[in-house]
Structure 1
C-alpha cells in the first residue's frame, strides 16, 4: 500500500560522547503559569561549548512540570492552562489536601505533562522547531522557587 507521501532521511552522523556538563537552574515562579526556559537552555549549551549530543532538563518537583510548546501565539498557553484545569480541577474532592486545594491537582497536572525533557543538540544548537519553546509550568497558585537540572551529554567544540 502506497500513501503517496514522501519520506526522506539525512545521512547518519556519529560523534564520540566525551562531555557531560551539568548545571542547576533556579526559577522563581509567580504562581500558576508558564515560564519560558529556552534562552536559559540555549545559553547553557553555548557556555559548555556543546557541539552534538543531547540536553536533558529535569525538574526536581512534583507540583510543577516541563513541556515543549508553541512560542508564537500566547493564547496557546492560556488554552493549555485551561485544559489542564479542566482535567484536574481544584474542586474535585481530592483526598490529599494537606497543602491546600491546589496541591493534588498540581500533582495530577505534573503527571500529565512530565518532569523531564530531552532535546537533541546539533552543531551547537538546540534542535527545536521554529515555533517550539521550553517551558516550566507552575501548577500551584502561590510563587515557588523551582530547580531544574540541565545536563548535556555529547561532544563539545
Structure 2
C-alpha cells in the first residue's frame, strides 16, 4: 500500500470564487501514482470548500449567483458584530453549511473515477485570500 500527502496552495481573488483544480489534482496523482485506491481532498478552512460538479461557464455563473443569494453579506448576523479574525464573514460560514470540506474520489487503473461531467472545484466563500490550502491524500496499491 502506498500513501502520499501534500497541499495545494490556492490564492483567491474574489469574495466568492469557484476554481477548477481538476488538472492540478490529476498532476499530483501522476507524480505519486497508484493503480487502485482513493484520493481524499480536504479544505483546511471554515469558509472554503471542495465540490464535484459540472464545469460549464453559465452554470458556474449560476452557482456564483445562487451562493450570493443564499446568505447575503451584511444582513445583521451576530458573528459579524465581533468576528474572531476581524472579518465580518458570517454569511460565508452560513453558506458553508451546505457544502463539503472534503471529497473522496476512487482511483482505478491509475485514474480518478470522475463522472463524464464532473470536475473538482475549490470554492472560496470569504475572499480574496493570498493563500488557501487544499490537502490531498492518496492511498492505494501500486
TM-score by length of 1: 0.82
1:49 aligns with 2:33: yes
User: What is the alpha-carbon distance in structure 2 between the residues aligned to residue 143 and residue 128 of structure 1?
Assistant: 28
Q: If the length of structure 2 is used for normalisation, what is the TM-score?
A: 0.90
Alpha-carbon deviation of 1:87? 1.5
What is the RMSD of the two structures over their aligned residues, measured on CA atoms? 1.3
Q: Which residue of 2 aligns with 1:147?
A: 133
Instruction: Provide the aligned length of Structure 1 versus Structure 2.
Output: 137
**Equivalent residue in structure 1 for 2:43, among 45, 48, 59:** 59
* Separation in structure 2 between the aligned mates of residue 96 and residue 144 of structure 1, nearest angstrom: 23
Task: Give the distance between the partners of 1:133 and 1:55, measured in 2 at CA.
Answer: 14
5 Å-filtered alignment, 1:29-108, equals 29-31=12-14, 32-71=16-55, 73-97=56-80, 98=83, 99-101=86-88, 103-108=89-94
Please tell me whether the aligned partners of residues 12 and 129 of structure 2 are also in contact (alpha carbons under 8 angstroms): yes
- Structure 1 residue 122, shift from structure 2 partner: 0.9
Q: Distance in 2 between matches of 1:69 and 1:144?
A: 25
Gaps of 5+ in 1: 1-17
Larger Rg: 1
**Structure 2 unpaired stretches of 5+:** none
Alpha-carbon separation, structure 1, partners of 2:130 and 2:103: 21
Which runs of structure 1 show a deviation greater than 6 angstroms over 4 or more consecutive aligned residues? none
How many angstroms apart in 1 are the aligned matches of 2:49 and 2:95? 8
